[in-house]
Amino acid sequence: MTNAQGGKGARGSSCTRWWGLRGAVVRGFVSVGLGLLAAGAAWASRQPSSPLLEPRNPRFGEAAPARSRVKLETSQGTVELEIHRAWAPRGADRFYNLVRHGFYDGVRFNRVIAGAWAQFGINGDPTIAALWRQQRFTDDPVVESNRLGFLSFAMAGPNDRTTQVFINLSDNPQLDERGFAPFGRVVEGMGVVDRLYSGYGESAGGGIRGGKQDPLFAGGNAYMAREFPKLDYIVEAAIID
């Protein structure tokens, strides 16, 4: 009897230790797992979902090549641009780096004035648009003229350029003396540019100087698609050379 009771006690003690050990191991794995999840969440929270959320990152200040080509896949077809850094170094650098990081993907041609210009450059994400609206950069001297097919940054005044660009739909030499410095030109697809929808004129936000672009910045592409559904847009902009 004594031995039997002792055997049961030994087995009970052994089982208790085993269950205790198993519980400790499980608790250890759970603790490690939760720790890894917390560390991963903390790391993820520090990683921006898009580099465009960090406009002051040095990557956006890198110098563009002396000459580069950009392809715009638009809702009307393909347009190819040739960027010349010698014409306007600061403008070329800004445009090149924005294209490189996807800023112009999905962007609407919100101001198309037939026979004058086709303007674009308000990002479709209101958060990104608001950040870059404040990223002004210094003017370049005007080296080339605003001729048919040439690109310049839009601005409201001196040293006020940010992200909005226009393609000249005719020769506009009057813009030269106002400080609009071309940094590139259309080399293929000018017919595509001429087909961009111009029916809204100045009503789809207009120019920067007009002061009516706030709804576009606040509502982004959702607002523009709802209020101005015929606007053409850039599907994707990419550096191709």
Radius of gyration of the chain (CA): 29
CA distances to 72, 152, 192 from 77, rounded to whole Å, are 8, 21, 6
33-42, 81-90, 201-210: lowest mean pLDDT where?
33-42
pTM reported for the whole predicted model: 0.80
Where do we find the tokens 């789809």? 204
Which tens digits make up the pLDDT trace of 176-192?
Answer: 999 999 999 999 999 99
In this predicted structure, the answer to whether residue 34 has a pLDDT above a threshold of 50 is: no
102-125 mean pLDDT:
98
Distances (CA, A) of 104 to 11, 133, 236, 239: 72, 14, 7, 12
Chain-centre distance for alpha carbon 21 = 54
* Rounded average pLDDT over 29-50: 46
**48-53 average pLDDT score:** 84
Residue that the structure tokens 């936000």 belong to: 205
Nearest CA-CA partner of 201 in 124, 88, 77, 113: 113
Write the pLDDT tens digit of every residue in 145-178.
999 999 999 999 999 999 999 999 999 999 999 9
Residue 81: half-sphere exposure toward Cβ, Cα within 13 Å: 29
Q: Is the pLDDT reported for residue 22 higher than 70?
A: no
* pLDDT tens per residue across span 115-128: 999 999 999 999 99
pLDDT in tens, 192-224: 999 999 999 999 999 988 889 999 999 999 999
